[in-house]
């Protein structure tokens, strides 16, 4: 049992990528000193009993040394599922006492470092320690989007900062912005160093070097696509890569994806005369980058596409984002921002290597096969991150590029006018997703939509959503001729209500309702 003065930090992680992010933050002194550091592992797979947890993944031993002890959240709350359980308010004090006894925390102070605070298991752990300060780390593109639902102020106000990777240089995350939580970068050089350690501790990958790498995500498990649609998406990746001249391909499926998808791809590859290798080892995509130096990385909206471009200077291409932008429902779906960013920044697989659909890839874009390589800088907190320049088709530049190249690489694509437009797009999409969570973004959203809404950017918005929020680009309204003055609009609504009541009374008395023409009134603002 720890003494009363023992300070304990509990790090919650559910993915190996997240654990690597924590390791990089620890290596660079991002956290205050502590007497004990515990890694709390949560297996959030649909069926945890059939899917290995992150501490059983290849290479985890290289991360283990950063922590004094590794605990299992699944075992702690068994038989409940980590994604579906949280303590009842009246039970929270009992759970805190139980966990302090079980984990030997004593009565000393506890700090929580968690991911995805708005949902369990992070939310559940935060409720079990109601007095513990919180720090949130984000290991993917979702950190750039708004908080998916309103957090209890008793939880949100405990968050001291948001740690995130510089996946889109210069772009500020919206996550937890409603609580004024400051965002802080995890240095890129430290993160790529951890990934190098992870790759060194991982068994060899049985795949050819210089192949085109196809990334699967198992989107049907999220009810975004049907299994048949996702299978067709993988075939689309394969055909697009072959059309670009790649005859050697590697498919990295999601660990929980059905085996029949791989068989369908193998059949299509045989028909096209291509050589396809399917990776059956559950390793990070970043480990594969270092091992086989892919000539091209193809995916839908995986965070691994951005790490390939920004951290390893690899050529990347997206496919299927057009379908997902149309399919994601409701508009508040938290995957919308990752899909939007990937669609706007990365070249399409069928576009021949041009910039993203949003046009933000024009400056410093990563070209497609045969296109010129672009620049994707990912600076650390001190601005000394690695610079990734897209290599040629032979897969050059597979490792993190040295900091010296930063001086000659040019400006990253998210600075200047293109960067300002991307920030405006993020603000507009973020406000349209969560107007009640981030009402302060309305002016920025209105400015962006008024200036940039066109055939190219309309794909990121739903007209009905714009109409419901009275934003530029909305459907025409009967009161559209009135100025946006609350008093005038309130008077107009009252007049319409009075007219309806009078019409209703006349109808009840059997009198014909005479249509009236509204008098022309000069409205001043």
> Taking Cα atoms as reference points, which of 411, 355, 379, 334 lies closest to residue 185?
379
Burial class (CB in 10 A: 0-12, 13-18, 19+), 478: exposed
**Mean pLDDT, rounded, of the chain:** 84
Q: Is the pLDDT of residue 469 over 80?
A: yes
Q: Considering only 62-66, 261-265, 385-389, which range has the smallest mean pLDDT?
A: 385-389
Confidence of residue 488 (pLDDT cuts 50, 70, 90): confident
Burial state string for 83-117 with b = 16 or more CB within 10 A and e = fewer than 16:
beebbeeeebeebbeebbeebebbeebbbbbbbbb
Q: Is the pLDDT of residue 322 over 80?
A: yes
What is the model's pLDDT at position 51? Answer: 87
Distance CA 325, CA 460 (A): 7
Q: Alpha carbon 507 to chain centroid distance? A: 56
Averaged pLDDT for residues 182-209: 95
Distance CA 369, CA 295 (A): 8
What is the model's pLDDT at position 477? Answer: 64
Q: Which two tokens stand for residue 64?
A: 């283990």
> Taking Cα atoms as reference points, which of 304, 331, 335 lies closest to residue 318?
304
Residues 6+ apart with CB under 8 A from 42: 12, 13, 14, 53, 73, 74, 82, 121
Domain covering 8-195 assigned CATH 3.40.50 in the classification:
yes
Averaged pLDDT for residues 34-43: 98
- Reported as a single tens digit per residue, the pLDDT across 393-445 is 333 333 433 333 322 222 334 545 568 899 999 999 999 999 999 999 999 99
Q: Is the pLDDT of residue 19 over 90?
A: yes
pTM for the predicted model, two decimal places: 0.81
Let me know how long the chain is. Answer: 525
Distance CA 83, CA 123 (A): 10
The CATH 3.40.50 portion of the chain extends over 8-195, 205-415
Distance CA 454, CA 54 (A): 44
β-strands 375-378, 386-389 pairing: antiparallel
Averaged pLDDT for residues 224-244: 94
Q: Which two tokens stand for residue 414?
A: 């998210």
Distance CA 182, CA 162 (A): 6
- Provide the angle, in degrees to the nearest 10, between the axes of the packed helices 259-272 and 227-243: 30
Averaged pLDDT for residues 18-31: 97
Q: Considering only 150-154, 322-326, 484-488, which range has the smallest mean pLDDT?
A: 484-488
Dihedral sign for Cα atoms in the order 97, 103, 109, 115: negative
Q: Which residue has the higher pLDDT, 263 or 459?
A: 459
Q: Is the pLDDT of residue 169 over 70?
A: yes
Distance CA 471, CA 473 (A): 6
Q: Is the pLDDT of residue 482 over 70?
A: no
Q: Is the pLDDT of residue 521 over 50?
A: no
Q: Name the most confidently modeled range: 81-85, 369-373, 472-476, 509-513.
A: 81-85
Q: Which residue has the higher pLDDT, 475 or 401?
A: 475
What is the model's pLDDT at position 139? Answer: 77
- Reported as a single tens digit per residue, the pLDDT across 96-148 is 999 999 999 999 999 999 999 999 999 999 999 999 999 999 979 999 999 99
Distance CA 318, CA 340 (A): 11
Q: Which two tokens stand for residue 132?
A: 């513990």
The 3-state DSSP class for residue 316 equals strand
Q: Is the pLDDT of residue 519 over 90?
A: no
> Do 247 and 275 contact (CB within 8 A), yes or no?
yes
Q: Considering only 123-127, 236-240, 489-493, 499-503, which range has the smallest mean pLDDT?
A: 489-493
Confidence of residue 356 (pLDDT cuts 50, 70, 90): low
Burial class (CB in 10 A: 0-12, 13-18, 19+), 247: middle
Domain covering 205-415 assigned CATH 3.40.50 in the classification:
yes
Q: Considering only 65-79, 265-279, 392-406, which range has the smallest mean pLDDT?
A: 392-406
Burial class (CB in 10 A: 0-12, 13-18, 19+), 80: middle
Q: Considering only 291-305, 365-379, 479-493, which range has the smallest mean pLDDT?
A: 365-379
């Amino acid at each position: 049992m720890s003494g009363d003065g023992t300070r304990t930090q509990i790090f919650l992680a559910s993915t190996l990528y997240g654990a690597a992010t924590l390791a990089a933050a620890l290596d660079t002194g991002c956290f205050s000193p502590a007497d004990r550091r515990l890694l709390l592992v949560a297996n959030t797979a649909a069926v945890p009993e059939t899917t290995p947890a992150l501490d059983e993944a290849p290479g985890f031993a290289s991360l283990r040394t950063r922590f004094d002890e590794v605990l299992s959240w699944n075992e702690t709350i068994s038989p409940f599922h980590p994604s579906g359980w949280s303590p009842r308010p009246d039970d929270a004090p009992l759970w805190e006492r139980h966990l302090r006894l079980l984990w030997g925390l004593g009565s000393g102070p506890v700090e929580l470092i968690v991911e995805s605070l708005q949902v369990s298991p992070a939310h559940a752990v935060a409720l079990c320690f109601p007095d513990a300060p919180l720090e949130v780390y984000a290991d993917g593109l979702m950190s750039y989007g708004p908080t998916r639902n309103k957090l209890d102020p008793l939880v949100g106000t405990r968050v001291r900062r948001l740690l995130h990777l510089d996946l889109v240089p210069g772009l500020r995350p919206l996550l937890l912005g409603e609580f004024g939580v400051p965002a802080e970068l995890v240095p890129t050089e430290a993160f790529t160093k951890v990934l190098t350690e992870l790759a060194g501790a991982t068994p060899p990958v049985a795949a050819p070097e210089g192949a085109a790498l196809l990334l699967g995500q198992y989107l049907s498990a999220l009810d975004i696509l049907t299994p048949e649609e996702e299978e067709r998406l993988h075939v689309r990746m394969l055909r697009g890569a072959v059309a670009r001249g790649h005859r050697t391909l590697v498919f990295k499926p999601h660990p929980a994806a059905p085996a029949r998808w791989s068989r369908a791809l193998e059949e299509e590859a045989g028909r096209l005369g291509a050589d396809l290798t399917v990776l059956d080892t559950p390793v990070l995509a970043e480990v594969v980058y270092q091992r086989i130096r892919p000539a091209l990385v193809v995916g839908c909206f995986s965070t691994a596409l951005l790490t390939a471009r920004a951290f390893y200077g690899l050529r990347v291409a997206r496919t299927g984002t057009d379908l997902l932008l149309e399919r994601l429902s409701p508009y508040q779906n938290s995957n919308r921002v990752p899909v939007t960013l990937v669609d706007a920044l990365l070249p399409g697989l069928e576009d021949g290597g041009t910039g993203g659909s949003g046009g933000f890839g024009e400056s410093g874009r990563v070209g497609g096969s045969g296109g010129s390589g672009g620049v994707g800088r990912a600076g650390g907190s001190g601005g000394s991150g690695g610079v990734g320049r897209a290599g040629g088709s032979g897969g050059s530049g597979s490792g993190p590029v040295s900091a010296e190249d930063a001086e000659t690489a040019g400006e990253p694509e998210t600075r200047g006018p293109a960067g300002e437009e991307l920030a405006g797009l993020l603000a507009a999409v973020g406000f349209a997703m969560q107007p009640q969570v981030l009402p302060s973004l309305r002016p920025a959203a209105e400015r962006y939509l008024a200036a940039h809404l066109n055939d190219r950017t309309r794909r990121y918005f739903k007209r009905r959503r714009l109409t419901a929020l009275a934003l530029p680009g909305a459907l025409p309204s009967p009161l559209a001729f009135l100025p946006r003055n609350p008093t005038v609009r309130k008077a107009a609504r009252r007049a319409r209500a009075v007219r309806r009541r009078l019409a209703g009374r006349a109808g009840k008395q059997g009198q014909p309702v005479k249509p009236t023409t509204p008098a022309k009134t000069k409205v001043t603002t």
